[in-house]
Structure 1
Amino acid sequence: MAPPIPVILCGRTEKIGAGVIAALKPEFEVIHFVMTLDAGLEQIPALLQGETEVPSHSELGSKNYARGVGVVILGAGYEDEDIQQLREAAAPFSSVPWLRPDITKPAPPLGPAYGQALVERIKETVNGLQASGVFEVDSVVFY
Structure 2
Amino acid sequence: MATPIILCGKFEQVGQVVKNTIQPEFEVVHFISSPESGQTTIPLLVKGEAPTNSSDNIGSRNYAVASKAVVVGAMYDDAWVENLAKEVDVPVLRPERLVGNPTGPPDAAAVQAVAKRVKEGLQKLVDEGKLGQAGVFWY
TM-score in terms of structure 2 length: 0.86
Runs of 5+ consecutive residues of structure 2 not aligned to the other structure? none
Task: Spell out, residue by residue over 1:15-65, the C-alpha distance to the aligned partner (whole angstroms, 9 max, x if none).
Answer: 211121111211111000001111000100111122124323742101001
Partners of 2:85 and 2:135 within 8 A in 1:
no
Equivalent residue runs for 1:52-63 within 5 Å: 52-56=50-54, 58-63=56-61
Q: Secondary structure at the match of 2:15?
A: helix
Cα distance in structure 2, aligned partners of 1:53 and 1:81:
24
Question: In 1, Cα distance between the equivalents of 2:3 and 2:41?
Answer: 18
2:127 aligned with 1:131, yes or no?
yes
TM-align CA RMSD: 1.9
Of 100, 103, 118 in structure 1, the residue corresponding to residue 97 of structure 2 is 103
Matches within 5 A, 1:8-87: 8-56=6-54, 58-87=56-85
Distance 1:10 1:57 in 2: 16
8 Å CA contact 1:16–1:111 kept in 2: the answer is no
For normalisation by structure 1, the TM-score amounts to 0.84
1:101 and 1:51 map into 2 onto residues whose CA distance is 27
**% identical equivalent positions:** 36
Aligned to 1:117: 113
More displaced 10-residue stretch of structure 1: 127-136 or 63-72: 127-136
